[in-house]
Amino acid sequence: MPKTLLEQLRGMTTIVADTGDMRSIEKYKPRDMTTNPSLITAAAQMPEYQQLVDDVLLKAKKEVGPGADDQAVATRAFERLAVAFGLEILQRIPGRVSTEVDARVSFDTKGTMEKAHAIIEQYDKAGIGRERILVKIASTWPGIKAAEQLEKEGIHCNLTLLFGIHQAVACADAGVTLISPFVGRILDWYKKETGKDYAPAEDPGVESVTHIYNYFRKFGFKTQIMGASFRNIGEISELAGCDLLTISPQLLKELDSTTGDLPRKLDPEKAKSMNIERLQIDEAKFEQMHKENKMASDKLTEGIEGFSKALENLEKLLKERLAKLGASEKQQQPVGAL
């Protein structure tokens, strides 16, 4: 029986599931999993996770203390919920989970570090080793500087919302564990700008990740590359051999039901012999290259705003759920109780 594309891909690339839904783990058995605020918000609304959400809310209410308003409780709960999902995920996978720092501190190095420390503290208390956690941070200059310090503390980072070589090189220079270049969002931008469709081999997102991969392997960087944000399995096939690929359940299903030859496209040995210019990236150079790269500038801003909006929606959802819990508690309260 011929092998599926997913089976062949597993032979050269680590498969990561991009979801907050536990059912996908059991079906596709990824080594690692990534989440983001949008995925957590979607999962938090599923009936099967209501008890987990309620438990987090009640714990947050206790932590914040009596007299706290619903917004304060919801904010504390949101900070706990991503880790609660992460702990559930870690029971089902052998590898790592990525948990995202609040996108609203993406341009604040100190704030990013504080949020990262709070995430790691929760995992530490739960007895989870740091080798199993990747703290997701937006690939802004302040975010990269935060990650550089966190890595020195033994906190592993996944730099996300990455769209340009300047971001990738700065991350590698900072010694981050892993980067997540966004393939599909790059394609989205070019399709909108040009009105053109792109074959997988000419996909601007594929070309970007290929360039980053060859650069890292050429110069011996240890930072891993995890292609993310895919729109079709053609993009995934063109990146066969990348260190890791994080893939949605829908595309995992398509890969698992498709057969055909899947050749390796990214090869570390071939990269070593390529003629590639070594870049020197400081803050001024980073900001200059970022400004000149309209796609990267547009998509980074859009991504941070999108994740921030998802967090606001999640806080609103938690406040509504908290109100229902409060009403339920009142109904169960004995007559005459104070």
For residue 315, give the amino acid letter. E
Look at residues 196, 33, 182 and name the one whose alpha carbon lies nearest to residue 100: 33
**Which residues neighbour 182 within 8 Å (Cβ) at sequence distance 6 or greater?**
160, 161, 162, 163, 205, 228, 229, 299, 303
Cα separation of the two ends of the chain: 70
- Dist. CA 71–CA 15, nearest whole Å: 38
**253 has catalytic annotation:** no
Lookup: tokens for 310: 């998802």
Among 27, 59, 110, 136, the one annotated catalytic: 136
- Dist. CA 133–CA 270, nearest whole Å: 31
Active-site residues, by number, are 136
